[in-house]
């Protein structure tokens, strides 16, 4: 699928077999700005000063752009198949949609974190992504701090990329942090009981995080089956099985304010990247996770070793030719035995397993954990996002965009923001992104942004990126979808589900800023970078 311009006659023909979208605009019919950097001819040959409207046609696997002349109504059903004619979002409406689910929090704990921003943009209906955040104050005796030191903070941020439904990712939002925190609590208590140790070893901390992941997945996939057999109704059984039948990737960051160590646990293909400013004033992007799919060399090798004699364990970059993530929660049809799969399909209409299934499980929820020493005094930040963002931007572009946003915010606010002492000296007059360009991560088990080729994205960064948002996560999503190319941005945001899935995925983006901020003990909503609270019915 790709964006391309067509003539007015072809647009008219395409309308008969697709969905048609337009918004009012004052551009001339021959303007050049469009989702594909071109503009088609007007759909009307009439001359005059009548208003024109941007048009987007959803055809068979392609998007077409054009303009129409006149101000007549265009919101209606086109045929008995429900194909629609609706107005394309104008720039203000596009911005409102981008900002609908944004949040920003100022962290006044004096523990090395000063702010985090998050935004979600659905493509599926309902969105299959989810996220969770939690700060746990740990008593000084449990945290093994120095004598007389105050309690430390355990801070967690998680993004969850669901697939085949939203139920598994919602389950992770509700429970994953609690499972991991409980395992960490046990590990720290065990270390404290040993006078010679007091602080857990790095290996035992990693093991605790992995244990939390695996225990929760076992609850979702296997314990649910035991409960289903005791359920009195099929409705109850369906509720128990739902998180097992759908699936979700998980990316969880755990920051210990005492040690200033950030651990990132990745199950699946969401990604975390560290931004750190160098002595030259530019940022470097360091991946903190590896995309785990059937197309990742290390994951494919692991699966072939675990399932010898099964040449199709990875086929076309997918597990048994079907599932792309090689690690995930749920996805029980890849984990249950053949007997369990058959029994549940017969009794509860569960999903049919792959015909290639021989020696399950083929998918695991056990994460790969990395550890990084954070330097709050240098203004480090971390970007966590589901794969929808990384399909559109490279690691370097994402970190550079955050750096660009920091420069702009510093200039606009004079460096006097409530908790942004970390903004000082970050201002730059450079027009290029303030980033050291290095490997995009493809050699480190990370996929390149496939959407850039699909959309024919411009390579000149000055023509692509813009700073318009107070929320840095929203800033990233805006530039991922089009940036300065307002036509492309509006086109991608206008597309309804399920058409939109051909061109973009659900998006969940979280940016955590480390720094030396206030210590008032409060975590407060940053209203200028957050959506208005929605009324609850």
Written as six digits, the tokens of 10 are 């072809």
Q: Which helix (H) or strand (E) holds 140?
A: helix 140-143
Query: In the prediction, which pLDDT does 58 show?
Result: 61
Query: In the prediction, which pLDDT does 15 show?
Result: 36
Q: Which helix (H) or strand (E) holds 63?
A: strand 63-69
Please provide residue 20's backbone torsions phi and psi, each rounded to the nearest 5 degrees.
-125, 135
Please provide residue 155's backbone torsions phi and psi, each rounded to the nearest 5 degrees.
-115, 135
Alpha carbons 115 and 297: distance in angstroms, whole number: 36
- The side-by-side arrangement of strands in the sheet containing 522-525 is 283-287, 271-277, 381-385, 507-514, 113-121, 103-108, 522-525
Alpha carbons 58 and 78: distance in angstroms, whole number: 13
Written as six digits, the tokens of 224 are 């649910």
Alpha carbons within 13 A on the beta-carbon side of 337: 5
Query: In the prediction, which pLDDT does 86 show?
Result: 56
What is the pTM assigned to this prediction? 0.85
Query: In the prediction, which pLDDT does 497 show?
Result: 87
Query: In the prediction, which pLDDT does 450 show?
Result: 67
Query: In the prediction, which pLDDT does 199 show?
Result: 87
- 269, 324 contact by CB (below 8 A): yes
* Cβ partners under 8 Å of residue 193, min gap 6: none
* Cβ partners under 8 Å of residue 80, min gap 6: none
Reduced to 3 states, what is the DSSP secondary structure of residue 501? helix
Alpha carbons 336 and 331: distance in angstroms, whole number: 9
Query: In the prediction, which pLDDT does 453 show?
Result: 63
Query: In the prediction, which pLDDT does 457 show?
Result: 65
Written as six digits, the tokens of 151 are 């309690």
Written as six digits, the tokens of 28 are 């001339």
Number of CB atoms found within 10 A of residue 528's CB: 9
Query: In Å, what is the CA distance from 79 to each residue of 15, 23, 85, 456?
Result: 11, 21, 10, 32
Query: In the prediction, which pLDDT does 427 show?
Result: 40
DSSP-derived pairing of the beta strands 271-277 and 381-385:
antiparallel
Query: In the prediction, which pLDDT does 5 show?
Result: 40
Positions of the chain with pLDDT lower than 70, given as ranges? 1-50, 54-86, 143-150, 411-432, 437-448, 450-462, 535-537
Query: In the prediction, which pLDDT does 400 show?
Result: 95
DSSP-derived pairing of the beta strands 3-5 and 63-69:
parallel
Of the candidates 26, 30, 85, 32, the one whose C-alpha atom is nearest the C-alpha of residue 52 is 26
For the chain, count helices (H), then strands (E): 14, 21
Query: In the prediction, which pLDDT does 455 show?
Result: 60
């Amino acid at each position: 699928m790709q964006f391309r311009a067509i003539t007015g006659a072809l647009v008219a023909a395409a309308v008969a077999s697709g969905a048609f979208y337009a918004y009012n605009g004052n551009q001339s019919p021959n303007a050049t700005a469009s989702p594909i950097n071109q503009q088609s001819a007007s759909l009307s040959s009439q001359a005059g000063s009548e208003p024109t409207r941007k048009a987007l046609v959803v055809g068979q696997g392609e998007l077409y752009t054009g303009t129409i002349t006149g101000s007549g109504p265009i919101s209606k059903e086109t045929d008995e198949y429900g194909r629609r004619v609706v107005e394309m979002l104008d720039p203000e409406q596009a911005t409102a949609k981008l900002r609908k689910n944004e949040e920003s929090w100022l962290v006044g704990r004096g523990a090395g974190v000063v702010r985090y921003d998050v935004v979600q943009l659905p493509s599926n209906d309902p969105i299959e992504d989810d996220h969770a955040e939690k700060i746990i104050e740990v008593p000084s005796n449990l945290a093994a701090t120095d004598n007389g030191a105050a309690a430390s903070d355990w801070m967690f941020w998680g993004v969850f990329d669901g697939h085949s439904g939203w139920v598994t990712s919602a389950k992770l939002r509700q429970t994953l942090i609690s499972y991991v925190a409980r395992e960490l609590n046990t590990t720290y208590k065990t270390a404290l009981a040993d006078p010679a140790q007091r602080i857990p070893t790095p290996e035992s901390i990693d093991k605790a995080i992995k244990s939390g992941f695996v225990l929760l997945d076992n609850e979702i996939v296997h314990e649910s089956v035991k409960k289903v057999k005791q359920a009195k109704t099929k409705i109850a059984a369906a509720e128990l099985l739902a998180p097992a039948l759908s699936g979700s990737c998980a990316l969880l960051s755990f920051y210990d304010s005492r040690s200033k160590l950030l651990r990132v646990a990745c199950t699946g293909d969401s990604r975390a990247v560290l931004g750190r400013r160098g002595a030259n004033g530019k940022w470097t992007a360091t991946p903190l996770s590896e995309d785990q799919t059937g197309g990742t060399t290390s994951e494919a090798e692991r699966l072939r070793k675990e399932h010898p004699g099964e040449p199709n364990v990875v086929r076309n970059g997918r597990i048994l030719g079907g599932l792309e993530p090689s690690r995930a929660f749920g996805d029980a049809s890849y984990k249950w035995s053949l007997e369990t799969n058959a029994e549940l399909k017969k009794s509860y209409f569960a999903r049919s397993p792959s015909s290639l299934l021989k020696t399950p499980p083929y998918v695991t929820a056990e994460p790969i954990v990395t550890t990084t020493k954070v330097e709050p005094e240098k203004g480090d930040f971390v970007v966590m996002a589901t794969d929808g963002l990384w399909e559109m931007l490279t690691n370097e572009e994402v970190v550079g965009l955050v750096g660009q946003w920091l420069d702009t915010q510093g200039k606009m606010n004079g460096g006097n923001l409530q908790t942004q002492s970390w903004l000082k000296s970050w201002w730059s007059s450079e027009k290029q992104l303030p980033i050291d360009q290095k490997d995009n991560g493809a050699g480190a088990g990370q996929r390149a942004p496939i959407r850039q080729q699909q959309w024919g994205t411009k390579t000149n960064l000055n023509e692509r990126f813009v700073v318009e948002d107070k929320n840095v996560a929203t800033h990233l999503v805006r530039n991922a979808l089009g940036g300065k190319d307002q036509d492309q941005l509006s086109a991608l945001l206008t597309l309804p589900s399920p058409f939109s899935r051909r061109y973009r995925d659900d998006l969940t983006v979280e940016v955590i800023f480390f720094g030396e901020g206030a210590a008032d003990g409060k975590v407060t909503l940053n209203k200028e970078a957050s959506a208005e609270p929605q009324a609850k019915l």
